[in-house]
Amino acid sequence: MAPFLIPDDFRAFMKRVVRDLDAPGDAPKLLDGLDEYALRDETGHGGRIDGDAFRFTYLSPDGSGKWTVQLTEAAIRDIADGLLIEVMGERRELARTAPRPSKGQPLLIWGEYADDALVVRDRIDLIEALDALHALAQAGPRMLRMWSAADDQLAAVMRGDDCALYILESQHGYATSCGDASRTDSFELPDPAGGRLAVPYQDCVPWSIARNALLWFAERGDLGPEIRVEGRIPTGLLMMGDADRAAVLAGRAAPPRRVSRSSIRRPRTVSDEAIRPDTQHDPTLDEPLPAAAPLKVEELSAWARRLLELLHSRELIELGRVSLDEISYQLGGLLQAHGEEAQRSLDTAEWLANEIGAMRGIDKMFATGGDLQIALRRSRTG
């Protein structure tokens, strides 16, 4: 523990906390959920942790470290009123005195499913993945996380040809890219804490520059010479920096090591050709599906088994050491609820592919929604 001299911006944050504590209606409830992220500010975040105890995290303006302090409600009010100028706290240095050694290959994650990730083997793979994610960002905001070989970490938020870069951990601490200061608008997307992350266009740089910076970061752990940064970071992203690569991977299946095995595979892939050896387009997808009577449990299990065997024969799925009968029974329930619709709707097929990949006994699922639609139709009848 060390003395934390109350800076003006943290005092302003405490004034806002007091206003929320004293406000009628729903505002005080934000502080009653035992949530350290209940209140967020440009300077940090905090909330009630137990009874009269509150914990706040303050980010140093230069990005070199952060303070964690525990306060009572009385102390919060004294800070807000200017009566308390120092409290005890814990400081964590975010800037490092020396580079860390390599811990492996760079890692890219852009979603919660197992194949929404890539262990980067080389620069070509990284370029292909980044360009694919950029293409997806033309339709709406996308976020990706990247770890360098030395476990430096950043988050990138893309929308169209704009990209904001947020360094969560590096040798020099946290930082945010600086774009055109004359832009005053912003866009939003969900943040990791379950709220909404507002991304100012002032933080965005053109994609051509951001792409170079991401390639540089993967190898060196900083954004390179083309981008100016400031020592600040949105508090909605702060919690991401507390989880290193090992902690994040512990809660996920092993990430793919090839772009073609990830969820951003190219439009035509090896597996696409494997399941369609004679033609690039399966004409059965153009045929209307006849109305079908509800299947019995044993018929659903048989369909599920045929589907698994077809996907396995095409190397689109890897099965674990679980009885095929057990997996077929589980999958039969999914097919009963969504099998028919998935044959008609690509969105449903993609959702179903992800659900199958998350089932117990499925080690890896490589099939896309399009792959699954074809496989569902071909395995529907014995």
pLDDT of residue 286: 45
Among 261, 287, 318, give the residue marking a domain's end: 261
Comparing 60-69, 141-150, 196-205, which segment has the lowest mean pLDDT?
60-69
* Residue ranges making up the domain that contains 122: 107-261
In the numeric block, the tokens 């950043």 are attached to 154
Are the beta carbons of 155 and 237 closer than 8 angstroms? Answer: yes
Q: Is residue 235 domain-shared with residue 112, that is, in the same domain?
A: yes
pLDDT tens for each residue of 13-56: 999 999 988 887 654 544 555 556 677 777 888 888 888 889 99
41 assigned to some structural domain: yes
Looking at the domain assignment, is residue 268 inside a domain? no
Distance CA 179, CA 229 (A): 9
**Is residue 179 in a domain?**
yes
% the chain with pLDDT above 70: 83
Q: Does 326 lie in the same domain as 294?
A: yes
13/5 Cα distance (integer angstroms): 14
pLDDT band at residue 194 under the 50/70/90 scheme: low
Q: Provide the H-helix boundaries in 33-173.
A: 73-80, 123-136
Long-range contacts of 201-205 (CB under 8 A, 24+ apart): 201/162, 202/178, 203/164, 203/165, 203/166, 203/176, 203/177, 203/178, 203/179, 204/159, 204/162, 204/163, 204/164, 204/177, 204/179, 204/180, 205/162, 205/163, 205/164, 205/165, 205/177, 205/178, 205/179
What is the band of 210 on the pLDDT scale with cuts at 50, 70, 90?
very high
Q: Does residue 125 sit in the same domain as residue 53?
A: no
pLDDT band at 279 (very low <50, low <70, confident <90, very high): very low
In terms of pLDDT, which residue wins out, 369 or 109?
109
Average pLDDT over residues 59-70: 78
Kindly report the average pLDDT of the chain as a whole number.
82
The two tokens of residue 244 are 């290193």
241/127 same-domain check:
yes
Q: How many domains does the chain have?
A: 3
Rounded to whole angstroms, the Cα distance separating 37 from 136 reads: 30
Same domain for 248 and 209: yes
Residue 326 is assigned to a structural domain of this protein = yes
pLDDT band at 307 (very low <50, low <70, confident <90, very high): very high
Same domain, 168 and 241: yes
Alpha-carbon Rg for the chain, nearest whole angstrom, is: 25
* pLDDT (tens digit per residue) in 313-334: 888 898 887 788 888 888 888 8
Residue 266 lies inside a defined structural domain of this protein: no
What is the per-residue pLDDT for 5? Answer: 93
Question: What per-residue confidence (pLDDT) applies to 32?
Answer: 55
Strand partners, 158: 142, 163
In this structure, the answer to whether residues 152 and 111 fall within a common structural domain is yes
Residue position matching structure tokens 């089932």: 359
Domain boundary among 93, 128, 144: 93
Same domain for 77 and 28: yes
Nearest to 356 by CA among 378, 338, 382, 374: 338
Whether 241 and 197 map to the same domain: the answer is: yes
> How do residues 263-272 score in pLDDT, each as one tens digit?
876 433 333 3
Between the ranges 240-244, 281-285, 367-371, where is the mean pLDDT highest? Answer: 367-371
